[in-house]
Amino acid sequence: MTGAAGGIGQSIVRELLRAGATVHGLDRNAAAQLVLARELGARYHAYTVDLADRSASNRAHAQLLEALGGRCDILVNNVGVAGVVPFESSDDVLLDTTLAVNFVAAFRLTRALLPALRASGHASVVNIASELALIGQSGYSAYCASKGALLAWSRALAVELAGEGIRVNAVCPGPIDTRLLAAEFASCADPGEARRAEIATVPVGRLGVPKEVATVVGFLAGDSAAFVSGAAWSVDGGKTAR
């Protein structure tokens, strides 16, 4: 899985480990990967790689294929970046980086691991999209575009690979209480007010927590979801139902 050392990523890793999986986790944060590997032990294999770097990604793909021994039962594409920038102020660097990390990295890794997913016979691919793949939000034009692409691709892939024993689903988290979201609030003129305003958009009246996303990923990854493919699972406290 990608984005393994982040807030949601770590929760997904722990959920998969609890289910008995061996997890190969990719993340660009070397220090966080080291801490995670020491804590989780032998069933967690850490790879430090910036997935926006295609050459580095290609090397990681080759390492993964060798380590997996030709078979992959579960692939979670979780890595993501976000920048809050008005559309007129956005530049090509923001656009290229956002698309490279949020969409292209998942596309390329899944393609590289396709032989190993086929070898499973009952593989599950879970792509972590966003509420902003379903609704728009000011300042997030590049992010919305990237996560919308990820969701549309997930649906197309679910249809294309259905006959090969590979299910593909997307999870669309709403506002989840992570360091990434806290950093977004901190960039606002009044962080406390920004947090309160975000909570006010959520019908259940609070931010989500990473484990609530991880639980849904764990379900979609497992055999209990054998008839679930091409779906977009909202984990957003009802925000996109408004």
Q: Which residues are catalytic?
A: 143
Give the helix/strand (H/E) hosting 75.
Answer: strand 74-77
Residues with Cβ within 8 Å of 96's Cβ and at least 6 positions away in sequence, in order, are: none
φ/ψ (deg, to 5) at 222:
-95, 175
C-alpha to C-alpha distance for 236 and 216, rounded to whole angstroms? 12
C-alpha to C-alpha distance for 14 and 84, rounded to whole angstroms? 30
Give the helix/strand (H/E) hosting 112.
Answer: helix 105-120
Q: How far is CA 94 from the centre of its chain?
A: 19
Q: Is 69 left (phi over 0), alpha (psi -120 to 50) or beta?
A: left
Strands (E), 116-231: 123-128, 166-173
